[in-house]
Structure 1
Amino acid sequence: MAQMLERFVSPGKGNGLRATVGIRRGQLLYSAEPLACCVSNRLTKDVCHRCFSRRETLMRCSQCKTARYCNTTCQKQAWSAHKRECKCLQSLIPRIPTDSVRLAARLIFALLSQSTGSSEELYTLEEHESHLSLMSEKRKQGLSQLASMLELYLQQEAPGLAQEVTSALPPSCQEPLSLIAKVTCNCFTICDGELQEIGVGLYPSLSLLNHECRPNCVMVFEGTNLQLRAVQDIKPKEELTISYIETLSLTEDRQRQLEEQYLFTCRCQRCNSKDTDGLMLSGEETTWRLLKDALPKLEEHKAEFNWEALLKSCSHLLSTVGVDVPDENLYKLRMTDMALDACVHLGRWEEALGYGEKTLPVYRQYFPDPHPVHGVQLVRVGKLQHYLEHIDDALDTFKQAFQIVKFTHGEGHPLTTDLLMKMEECRTELDQL
């Protein structure tokens, strides 16, 4: 697959990736396993630390009490990567270091156990930028604290580790601060098929991809395997781009987030034209601002899994203030999505479907290209329709979802195969009526 891609110097952006041949929408361009990865701290009890599958019950490592696995097979396969980490975790029980510290440590352990580098790598760890010179003093201080934590964490593993690190790591990665900075600037969030975060990982070659707010490629995961697919037709020598952030935001908010997290100002066509800002702010500002101002508190309820309080607040605001705000308004859409999430967690399926169906025409407007977020939303709504025996509607929604996920996820992805099964179930049920 790498023969379809090549490194080049992207004007104004530094290193980039571009196509060497014409590429069709939906084509798989690159797939890669991470150089290092770890499950997110908040999900350590819910996700297998080897295959990244969600399970209701997982086996716990008897030594560190932190790592969890589907079964003995996953545990045995994970041991070579986990054994050094296990000693570090044991020394800190019951505390667990942050995701970035654990990922940096796993990177070090992976490099120490590597015999040779991959010949297919387009971009090496040594070439990754730390961007320390561009960071504010406040951010550097935060990273310095993480670097100190990393040193403390690694000291527990073996007294001679520092000497091993010096001999095995590239010079620019031997300083803990530089390594932490590289990790935080270049890691990817690993998501499940429904785009829920489950971990973080380093995929060196794919760090070459530059950002656009309307990219021509998307990344999806199958376990920890990252797959890069085209969502537009791409010409030879055209740059491949992804979005580093959630694009369903106002231009000002996207640019601020990119400046804070990735230290650059986005000047893409979408940012320059501010093409969807007017639609996102549709309605009277004095009315929709009430929804906007309520969102931080609602986010707190969601983070705390306080679904009852979240649904109560959302339903009240949407049925009072929200009736005077167009469905396309960004803040109303976010609140409607939160209400949908709350209803699903509370098992209130009819209400969930009502909220879900309201979002679909809006998603269609905001995602003109095939996009995983739009496809997953259609799958969610289709499952609710199917469960509630709205079979005709469910089949139609699943068909719409398939027209998206066949491009974004590919026909062999578990989400796509599950979707095809759901469509077949609907057809069978309709034949029996």
Structure 2
Amino acid sequence: MAPRLERFVSPGKGNGVRATAGIKRGELVYSAEPLAGCVSNKVARDVCHHCFTRRETLLRCSQCKMARYCNSTCQKQAWSGHKRECKCLQSLRPRIPTDSVRLAARLIFAMLSPSKSSSEDLYSLEEHESHLSSMSEQKKQGLSQLASMLELYLQQGVPDHAQEMTSALPPSCREPLSLIAKVTCNCFTISDGELQEIGVGLYPSLSLLNHDCRPNCVMVFEGTKLQLRAVQDINPEEELTISYIETLSLTEDRQRQLEDQYHFTCHCQNCDSQDKDRLMLSGEKSTWRLLKEALPRLEALKAESNWQALLESWSHLLSTVGGEVPDENLYKLKMTDMALDASIHLGNWEDAVGYGEKTLPVYRQYYPDPHPAHGVQLMRVGKLQHYLEHIEDALDTFKEAYQIIKVTHGDDHPMTTELLMKMEECRAEMVQQSSETQPHKNLCIDPMLM
């Protein structure tokens, strides 16, 4: 952990991390590779299992038939971590364990072959909370089933190493149920440049960071490397916070998710004041209630990639009640975002840019601090404007995105580099357009030469 940070006891929260010196907005506070990580099952065919890059074509492991790689180089580099997993996957084929089971197994494999010193870590695996004592019986039962799957996965795949694997773990992690509980409560979702989930990973020291619905730090990923950056100026002895969840939701829904998944009640300023709830529920309840009731159906259509049906449903809702509901309404915003996704997938570019531009003023209201979600939304809209040759609009949108992305991602991140390239393309195209439309000077011809 960086020398500017220290562990401390945060009042009412337990362990936390605070600054020992001032940290400026946009500074890289901490970066780390995971102790263990794995690609999510739902994108396992599309993402390299070593570098976590999305590619249209990937090489498949000839033995387990699940792991996929960019090329032979990625495959060779991944083998030391994959060789034990490969046997386990073969033993259960065609069944595939859940992400949490595969991550727990990879954690055990990593502990068997430690590749780096953990002396700088502020938080150890042994100290991770399992929260078993505060879980409902129903949740414990679900975790028990995962623990049984973990045992089967390991015994079937590498029976000779079962005892060795168990002894490699700290005492509090040797019980499969406790290990699975710690993994599910402390793992981080690894996302790509578009903030789409591509995997899960364990970053022990970052589990010390406490939650706030308006945090002073955000996390972004480059491959599996997690980067923690400040989005507000942080004073010495001030606690560093992140958001465990998507904050663009009602206070009641955020608190329910935090209690169900992380077993605490949030008392941050946003939750206690509920200051955004009125904006999120703007408009007449009798009208936006119809959007709220229809939202699960549209989310199911999105999950099925049934884009045409999603757009038809949204168009019907929009003509029925959508015009009476302000764009700031949470349910309308979520549906407009889904309509944007659907229009992009169907190649309806004019509709897509219209939906995207409607969301931008709303995003500005909901994300007062630089936030990756706001930056990515601006980039998406800017790319649509650029594609449709709305060059000046695109440049303005890219400039606004850059002001956010340079803070949340830093100057060296591929997203920042891509944005700078897009801005240069727009400027070059504007210069070219200007030269093509500029009138040519009239040439004076001497009549004596005619």
TM-score band (shorter)?
A: over 0.9
Report how far residue 117 of structure 1 moved: 3.6
Match of 1:289 in 2: 289
TM-score, normalisation: structure 1: 0.99
- In 2: Cα distance, 1:301 partner to 1:111 partner: 41
Report how far residue 116 of structure 1 moved: 6.1
Contact 1:51/1:74 (8 A) holds in 2:
yes
Report how far residue 158 of structure 1 moved: 2.1
Deviations 1:333-359, CA, capped at 9 Å, x for gaps = 000000001111111111100000000
1:240-279 pair list within 5 angstroms: 240-279=240-279
Report how far residue 115 of structure 1 moved: 6.1
- Residues 164-173 or 16-25, more deviating: 164-173
- In 2: Cα distance, 1:159 partner to 1:269 partner: 51
SS at match of 2:253: helix
Match of 2:315 in 1: 315
Deviations 1:113-169, CA, capped at 9 Å, x for gaps = 116642211111001111100101100000000000000000122223221023211
Match of 1:139 in 2: 139
- In 2: Cα distance, 1:178 partner to 1:82 partner: 24
- In 2: Cα distance, 1:409 partner to 1:166 partner: 38
Match of 1:27 in 2: 27
Contact 1:318/1:332 (8 A) holds in 2:
no
Deviations 1:357-412, CA, capped at 9 Å, x for gaps = 00000000000100111000000000000000000000000000000000001111
Match of 1:225 in 2: 225
- In 2: Cα distance, 1:99 partner to 1:254 partner: 24
Q: Greater Rg, structure 1 or structure 2?
A: 2
1:234-383 pair list within 5 angstroms: 234-383=234-383
Report how far residue 309 of structure 1 moved: 1.0
SS at match of 1:16: strand
- In 2: Cα distance, 1:40 partner to 1:269 partner: 34
Contact 2:167/2:174 (8 A) holds in 1:
no
- In 2: Cα distance, 1:221 partner to 1:116 partner: 20
Match of 2:17 in 1: 17
1:185 aligns with 2:185: yes
- In 2: Cα distance, 1:116 partner to 1:280 partner: 46
SS at match of 2:157: coil
Match of 1:112 in 2: 112
Contact 1:327/1:362 (8 A) holds in 2:
yes
Q: Check 1:116–1:170 CA distance in 2 against 1; reply closer, same or farther (3 A cut).
A: farther
SS at match of 1:220: strand
- In 1: Cα distance, 2:100 partner to 2:400 partner: 38
Unaligned runs of 5+ in 1: none
Aligned residues: 433
Deviations 1:62-106, CA, capped at 9 Å, x for gaps = 000000000000000000000000000011111110000000000
Q: Check 1:57–1:239 CA distance in 2 against 1; reply closer, same or farther (3 A cut).
A: same
Report how far residue 315 of structure 1 moved: 2.1
Contact 1:220/1:409 (8 A) holds in 2:
yes
Match of 2:99 in 1: 99
Unaligned runs of 5+ in 2: 434-450
TM-score, normalisation: structure 2: 0.95
Q: Supply the AA of the counterpart residue of 1:391.
A: I
Contact 2:287/2:321 (8 A) holds in 1:
yes
SS at match of 1:228: strand
Deviations 1:267-295, CA, capped at 9 Å, x for gaps = 11110000100000000000000000001
Q: Supply the AA of the counterpart residue of 1:247.
A: T
- In 1: Cα distance, 2:303 partner to 2:277 partner: 27
- In 1: Cα distance, 2:350 partner to 2:120 partner: 50
